[in-house]
Structure 1
Amino acid sequence: MERLDKRVAGNLTRFYVVALCVVALLTISGLFLIRRTIRNLNHDSRVVNVAGRQRMLSQRLTKLAILKVNNIEHHDSVRFGALLALWKDSHEDLLSKKLPVDRGFVTWKSPPLDTMFHQLTPVFDRIYNNLSIIGSDTSGQGGRERALAEVLASEPDFLSRMNSIVFQFDKESFERLENLERIEWILDLMTILVLVAEGLLIFRPVVNTTRRVVRMLTESEDALQLSNQKLKESNNQLVETQKELLRLEEEKYELQLTEDRVRAGALIEGQEEERKRFALELHDGIGQMLTGLKLHAEKLKAVQFHDEKHQKRFDQLVVLIQDIIQTTRQISFNLMPSVLSDFGLASALKLLCQQAADLSGVKVVFEGETGERIQMSRPMEIGLYRIAQEALNNAVKHANADEIKIKLEQNKNHVVLEIADDGKGFLISNLKSEEGQFLTRNGMENIRTRTQLLHGEMQIISKVDSGTRLVVQVDL
């Protein structure tokens, strides 16, 4: 079957390429001849127009010469000298067989026309010389009258010869058309012969080969159906195997997710413990030492310094110590706020909003009940606080918002934390990967991980120039 396909394809391809090449060659040849003849005919019409114009110009010049010699007033606005120069230039162009048209030259080759133009030249020169005498201001009246007589005597001969030239141009154009018609008939006949040969040598073998191939396909149909039946049974077994592999992969993936959650939970728990320890060290250790240093420095204020510069530097030192104490307290609060363990999540979030507003200059509002503490586990309190802290930092740094709102409420056995701003917003599609997972951008991965560890649900709602809203819901 394969050898038959190759043999048939090779033979048909060769015949078909040859037939197409011949048809294309004949078609291109016909188009070339037609375009060339049309261009020549167009040039012939230009030459005939110029020749006809020469007749008109000679008659007009004769009329103007008569009016000029007899001093008769007329309304012809053209200048006699310019008209005479145009007549002479056109005759020289026709005589030299180069007629300027547009950007090129029209040329022709015809011995009869060359002979006729050379015979016309003496008559033209005689008329031109006498017209030049008439147009000259230095010629006398008698000379002009004799020149006019010569012009009137030569004009019929000039017009007769120009008529013969025009008729000769028309005759040669008609002969070229007849020649083109004969060539077109020959090309059409050759094209028909090529098409007939193509039908006999190409399409007929294609029909025979197709009939033979269809018969072979029909004979092999039963064998193909049997093979398909066996293949179907094999496919069923393969599908069952694939389902089993898919189930195993899903179990493996779930196990890996569980391990990742446990590992992330342990890591976050270790971080929180380390933050708590470090916050206590800052507050109880370095904070107390700085407070003592501040007390000693304030006691030294009573000492009078002899140098005013020393007094100024000492005052700056006291202010610097106070700034260090305040910064240390702020770092300790960010690491692990004591108000979170003493008064609960609502109070800690309210204090967080106040501090963020003071530091950033952005209006930060907290909505929630701070009087009654929501009963939840300590890991849940810390997780929700870190989520609010991360979201608030993102809003302050990236949202360009005028107002940020943090809302905490308890709905039956759910806790809902919402952080909303009126900033520039963003496209959610730019925040997700192809698999739909949130990318590590602006702390969103940390928020998503903490939400998963709390077995909660996270939702982000944002549009460009319409703000952003983050909602986290956790079961108590």
Structure 2
Amino acid sequence: MERLDKRVAGNLTRFYVVALFVVALLTVSGLFLVRRTIRNLNHDSRIVNVAGRQRMLSQRLTKLAILKVNGIDHRDSVQFNALLALWKDSHEDLVSRRLPIENGFVTWKSQPLDTMFQELTPVFDRIHNNLLVIDRDSVAVSDKQNALAEVLAAEPQFLSQMDRIVFQFDKESFERLENLERIEWILDLMTILVLVAEGLLIFRPVVNTTRRVVRMLTESEDALQLSNQKLKEANSQLVETQKELLRLEEEKYELQLAEDRIRAGALIEGQEEERKRFALELHDGIGQMLTGLKLHAEKLKAVQFHDEKHQKRFEQLVTLIQDIIQTTRQISFNLMPSVLSDFGLASALKLLCQQAADLSGIRVEFEGETGERIFMSRPMEIGLYRIAQEALNNAVKHANADRIKIKLEQNKNRIVLEIADDGKGFLISNLKSEGQFLTRNGMENIRTRTQLLNGEIEIVSKVHSGTRLVVQVDL
């Protein structure tokens, strides 16, 4: 079937394209010939008009010459010399076969007309020269009368010859029209033959092929219905199997997600325990030792140093010990702030904002109720605090912000944590396409902690319009 379709389609396409091309060619040729003939007929009428006008001009010039030689008054307003120049120019245009029209010139080719104009030229020159003599005021009256006699003698011959020229123009125009009619008949006949051939070579094979294909389709319809019934039964079994496989895959995926979530939760919980232990070690161990070192150093302040340089070095040492103690306390607070377990999340976030503002010089604000503690589980408090801490660090390091705001509120049975800045912002699409960007800015850690809390996260950011991160967790 497929090979038959391709073969039939190829043959029909070739025949149809050839037939359309021939019909179009014949139609365009006929239109071209008709338009060209119409244009030529218009030009022929212009030529006949000019040739007929020459007869009229010669008679008018003869009349004006008679009136002028005899001194008879007349009401003809045309100038004799202007009319004579027009008559001469028109004759030269006809002789040169180049007649000016509005958009150019009309040219023609005719050996009989060329011969007639050659025979007419001596008669025209004779009349024209005598008319020039009559037009001159300095010529004697007797000479003008002789010239007028020459004009009257040559005028019948000129008019007769012009009649022949006009009739020849008309004859050639009629012959071109008859030639166009013959060509039109030929083109019409060829178009009819092409249409007949198209019916025999294209439409008849199409009918035969269609009849054969329909018969083949009718014969195969029963077999196809039977095959469809079998396929339908097999498809039903396949759908059931696919549903079962899909259910198993979903269960496997859910189980894998649960395992990943438990593993991540255990990892984060272990990290938090390790941070807590390390913070206690710093605070109770190194912190106490540094505090003792500071006390001993302060006792040595009473000792008088003989060298002023030694005194300055001792003061620098005391300052350095104080800076180390402050840095140790800051590290211990970042690892596990004691205010989080003593006073709750709101107080810890407020203290975090104050420390960030002191260290970075950026205006960091906290909005929330610190007087009344929101009761939530210990992992939830730690998770939300780490999310706020990570987002705040991102804003300080990357956003180039002038103002950062952390907002904590309880909406019925839901905790809403919002971190917003007025920094440079970023394209949300970069979070999906640039893995290094996610790791560098801690967004993946924030999402992971939000998922472990069964919460929802929303990130709104535009370039040069700041960033807003909202985390919502059910109590």
Q: TM-score, normalized by length of structure 2?
A: 0.69
- Indicate the SS of the match to 2:383: helix
- Indicate the SS of the match to 1:109: coil
Q: How far has the Cα of 1:412 moved from its partner?
A: 4.9
- Indicate the SS of the match to 1:250: helix
Write the distance in 2 (CA, Å) between the matches of 1:314 and 1:155: 143
- Residue 457 (structure 1) aligns with: 456
- Residue 376 (structure 1) aligns with: 376
Deviates most, 252-261 or 151-160? 151-160
Letter in 2 for 1:142: V
Write the distance in 1 (CA, Å) between the matches of 2:229 and 2:276: 70
- Indicate the SS of the match to 1:142: coil
Write the distance in 1 (CA, Å) between the matches of 2:60 and 2:312: 114
Q: 1:414 to 1:87 in 2, by over 3 A?
A: same
> Does 2:138 correspond to 1:141?
yes
Matches within 5 A, 1:220-239: 220-239=220-239
Q: How far has the Cα of 1:408 moved from its partner?
A: 1.2
CA RMSD of aligned residues (A): 5.7
Q: How far has the Cα of 1:469 moved from its partner?
A: 4.5
Write the distance in 1 (CA, Å) between the matches of 2:199 and 2:344: 95
- Residue 475 (structure 1) aligns with: 474
Q: 1:339 to 1:118 in 2, by over 3 A?
A: farther
- Residue 199 (structure 1) aligns with: 199
Q: Deviations over 1:225-259 (max 9, x none)?
A: 11111111111111112112212222232233234
Q: Deviations over 1:339-367 (max 9, x none)?
A: 43443321222233345556677654322
- Residue 347 (structure 1) aligns with: 347
Matches within 5 A, 1:125-274: 125=125, 141-142=138-139, 165=165, 168-266=168-266, 268-269=268-269, 272=272
- Residue 95 (structure 1) aligns with: 95
Q: Deviations over 1:248-285 (max 9, x none)?
A: 22223223323433444455456656766777788886
Write the distance in 1 (CA, Å) between the matches of 2:42 and 2:61: 28
- Residue 445 (structure 2) aligns with: 446
| 8 Å CA contact retained: 1:133, 1:143 | no
Q: 1:369 to 1:185 in 2, by over 3 A?
A: same
Write the distance in 2 (CA, Å) between the matches of 1:240 and 1:410: 47
Write the distance in 2 (CA, Å) between the matches of 1:187 and 1:445: 80
Matches within 5 A, 1:78-117: 84=85, 92-98=92-98, 106-117=106-117
Q: Deviations over 1:50-109 (max 9, x none)?
A: 667878988999999999999x9x99999x79994x876665554333456788764321
Larger radius of gyration: 2
Letter in 1 for 2:97: K
Deviates most, 10-19 or 198-207? 10-19
Write the distance in 2 (CA, Å) between the matches of 1:132 and 1:355: 120
Q: 1:261 to 1:126 in 2, by over 3 A?
A: farther
Write the distance in 2 (CA, Å) between the matches of 1:113 and 1:365: 108
Write the distance in 1 (CA, Å) between the matches of 2:213 and 2:241: 39
Write the distance in 2 (CA, Å) between the matches of 1:165 and 1:212: 70
Write the distance in 2 (CA, Å) between the matches of 1:15 and 1:3: 19
Q: 1:46 to 1:394 in 2, by over 3 A?
A: farther
Q: How far has the Cα of 1:43 moved from its partner?
A: 4.6
| 8 Å CA contact retained: 1:431, 1:441 | no
Q: How far has the Cα of 1:173 moved from its partner?
A: 2.9
> Does 2:415 correspond to 1:418?
no
Letter in 1 for 2:247: R
Q: Percent identity?
A: 82
Deviates most, 346-355 or 94-103? 94-103
| 8 Å CA contact retained: 1:133, 1:144 | no
Q: TM-score, normalized by length of structure 1?
A: 0.69
Write the distance in 2 (CA, Å) between the matches of 1:59 and 1:329: 130
Q: 1:89 to 1:227 in 2, by over 3 A?
A: same
| 8 Å CA contact retained: 2:424, 2:466 | yes
Q: How far has the Cα of 1:198 moved from its partner?
A: 2.7
Letter in 1 for 2:175: E
Write the distance in 1 (CA, Å) between the matches of 2:172 and 2:44: 9
Q: How many residues align?
A: 458
| 8 Å CA contact retained: 2:290, 2:325 | no
Write the distance in 2 (CA, Å) between the matches of 1:182 and 1:269: 104
- Residue 387 (structure 2) aligns with: 387
Q: 1:187 to 1:400 in 2, by over 3 A?
A: farther
